[in-house]
Amino acid sequence: MSKTSFLNLLSRYQSNTCTETEKKMVEEWYDMLGQDYDQQLSDLELNAMHNRIWENVTPQVKTVKLSSRWKYISIAASIIILLVSGILFLANYNNSERYFKKAVSYSSLSTYKNNTDKTVELVLSDLSVVTLNPGARIEYPSHFAGAKREVFLNGDAFFKISHNPQKPFYVHNKDIIVKVFGTSFYIKETEKSAEVAVKNGKVMVKENIHASLLGQKTNYPKVLITANQMVAFDKEDKKLQTSIIEKPLPLYEAYDLPKPTNSIESQKFYDTPLDKVFAMISKTYGIEIKLTNDELKKCTFTGDISNKELKEQLNLICQSISGTYATEQTTIYIKGGTCN
C-alpha cells in the first residue's frame, strides 16, 4: 500500500467511511505504534503522516472547542433561566398562608376540606359557624387563645361570626383579609377576583400584603362595607371595588328579625312624595338612594310595590316618571324623568 493510499485510508477511518476490513487494519497499525515498528517509516514519512492526520483531526478539535463554548453558553443560559424563574416564582409565590400560620403559632391548627358535592357546616371553638362550599378548605386554631380570632380560607364559604368586640375575627385568603366583629358574610374566589358580600353587620376588607415576598406595600386601601354591600378585589389591578349585591334583602330579613308591620313591601302608595318613597326604600335595605334632579322631589308616586325585589321596585317607580336609575359603587342614583 502506497503512502497516499494509506493516508487516504486514515482519512476514511477518521470520517468512519472505511470498510470493516480497513478499520481492522488501521486499528492493528495503531496497536503497533507502541512498539518499534514505527521505525520502518522514515522521519519524513512519519511527519507527513502526522500532518495529514492532524489536518483531518483539526476540524473535530475546532468542533470540540465550539461545543465547549456552546456548553458554557448553555450553562450561562440555564443560570439566567433559573434566575428569571426564581424571580417570577418569588413574584407569584403566595406568602399569605405562611404568614397566617406564623400569626397563630400559639395554637395547634386544624384543617378541614369539604370533599363532598354539598355545603358543609363547621362550628369553631368560639361558636362561629362556617358553611363551606364544595372544594373549600379552612385552617383554624383549635382554640382562639390570642387577641384575634384568625382563620385561613381557600375557596368559597359563608361565615356567621359570634359577636365579640374585644376579639375581632379575621379571615385570610391568598388575596385579601376580612376583619369582622360579629356579622354574616360570604367570601367567594374566582379566577380574576376575591369577593366579599355582607348579609348583616360590618366588615373591613383590605388587600393581603403578605401574598408576595416582593413589592410589599406599606400603604394600602381598606374598605368598610355593610349589609347588602360587597367588595371585589381585582387580582390583576390590585384594586378594591365596592358595589351592591345582586339581590339585596330587607334589613329585618338580613338580621333575622320579625317583619315590621309598616314594611315597605306590604305598603301601597297613593300620591306620596317621591323623595319620601325613596327614603323608605333606603331605610328598608340600608342602601343610599339619591335624586340627581331636585325637581323630582316635587313628583309623587301612586302604586303597589309590595312583594317585589328592590330592582323591580325601582323599575316600577322610575317608569312612572319616565326616569332611570344607576348604581355607582354602593349608592343608587335616580336620573332624569318628569312629573306626570
Domain assignments of the chain as residue spans, ordered by start:
3-89, 96-246, 252-336
Position 68 scores a pLDDT of 58
Position 325 scores a pLDDT of 94
283-302 CB burial, b ≥16 within 10 A, e <16: ebbbbebebeeeebeebbbe
Band (pLDDT 50/70/90 cuts) for residue 83 is low
Are β-strands 331-336 and 288-291 bridged in parallel, bridged antiparallel, or unpaired? parallel
Indicate whether 277 pLDDT > 50: yes
CATH code, residues 252-336:
3.55.50.30
Indicate whether 245 pLDDT > 80: yes
Distances (CA, A) of 71 to 59, 61, 62, 269, 324: 18, 15, 14, 85, 70
- H-helix or E-strand containing 302? strand 300-304
Position 226 scores a pLDDT of 94
For residues 177 and 46, the model is more confident at 177
Are β-strands 109-113 and 202-207 bridged in parallel, bridged antiparallel, or unpaired? unpaired
For residues 92 and 126, the model is more confident at 126
For residues 43 and 258, the model is more confident at 258
Position 35 scores a pLDDT of 46
Distances (CA, A) of 227 to 5, 100, 164, 199, 292: 99, 27, 18, 5, 24
Position 28 scores a pLDDT of 60
Band (pLDDT 50/70/90 cuts) for residue 196 is very high
> What pLDDT, in 10s, does the model give residues 126-172?
999 999 999 999 999 988 988 889 999 999 999 999 999 889 999 99
Which residues neighbour 81 within 8 Å (Cβ) at sequence distance 6 or greater? none
d(CA 132, CA 135): 8
Q: Say how many C-beta atoms besides its own lie within 10 A of residue 241's C-beta.
A: 14
Position 101 scores a pLDDT of 85
Indicate whether 212 pLDDT > 50: yes
Angle, helices 3-14/20-32, rounded to nearest 10 degrees: 110
d(CA 281, CA 291): 13
Cα first-last separation, the chain = 121
Position 321 scores a pLDDT of 87
> What pLDDT, in 10s, does the model give residues 18-69?
777 777 666 665 555 444 444 444 555 555 555 554 455 444 444 445 455 5
The closest of 235, 241, 246, 239 to 211, measured between CA atoms, is 235
Band (pLDDT 50/70/90 cuts) for residue 181 is confident
**What pTM, to 2 d.p., does this model score?**
0.68
Stretch 287-311: mean pLDDT: 89
Indicate whether 268 pLDDT > 90: no
d(CA 208, CA 219): 12
Between vectors from CA 61 to CA 58 and to CA 67, what angle results, nearest 5°? 145
Distance of CA 95 to the CA centre of its chain: 12
d(CA 159, CA 186): 6
Position 312 scores a pLDDT of 93
- Tell me the range of 158-162, 235-239, 291-295 where mean pLDDT is highest: 158-162
Band (pLDDT 50/70/90 cuts) for residue 197 is very high
Indicate whether 227 pLDDT > 90: yes
Position 165 scores a pLDDT of 86
| Percentage, residues of the chain above pLDDT 70 | 70
- CATH domain 96-246 topology: Jelly Rolls (2.60.120)
Q: Using the 8-state DSSP alphabet, how is residue 163 labeled?
A: P
Least confident interval from 8-22, 116-130, 205-219: 205-219
